[in-house]
Amino acid sequence: MGQIVIVAYKPKPGKEEALKQLMKTHLPRLKQEGLVTDRESIIMEATDGTIIEVFEWLSTEAIANAHSNKAVQQMWGEYAEVCDYVPLNMLKETNDMFAGFKPVD
């Protein structure tokens, strides 16, 4: 059974576009490693520039396997250069009954 997750990536100063470009490769790279389902991800942007992604891991085992996968570790290193992971409740939109975000294509 898959596990849907929501992740918030806060771009480091001056790295907003680099993060958006990296986001285009995230799901395809995880798919190549057999770690996610075929469900398309949803990528959106908060008013403070944080990028939010909703995607589905293949299983809890796939999540665990990602932590020892060299390709995933390399990708996570690339993310560390351009952003920090932040809790969703840090986004002001999460205080609204219906949190709204700008779509990222």
CA–CA gap between residue 25 and residue 42 (Å, rounded): 13
Which domain does 89 fall in, by range? 3-100
What pLDDT is stored for residue 24 in this prediction?
96
Q: Are 93 and 47 in contact (CB under 8 A)?
A: yes
Count of domains in the chain? 1
CA–CA gap between residue 42 and residue 26 (Å, rounded): 12
The answer as to whether 64 is a domain residue is: yes
Query: Which CATH number do you get for residue 96?
Result: 3.30.70.100
pTM of this structure: 0.93
The answer as to whether 19 is a domain residue is: yes
What pLDDT is stored for residue 44 in this prediction?
98
The answer as to whether 37 is a domain residue is: yes
The answer as to whether 25 is a domain residue is: yes
| Lookup result for tokens 């990536």 | 9
Residue 102 has pLDDT above 90, yes or no: yes
The answer as to whether 105 is a domain residue is: no
- For residue range 25-67, what is the model confidence (pLDDT) as tens digits? 999 999 999 999 999 999 999 999 999 999 999 999 999 999 9
Question: ∠ CA(26), CA(22), CA(62), 5° rounding?
Answer: 20
Residue 1 has pLDDT above 90, yes or no: no
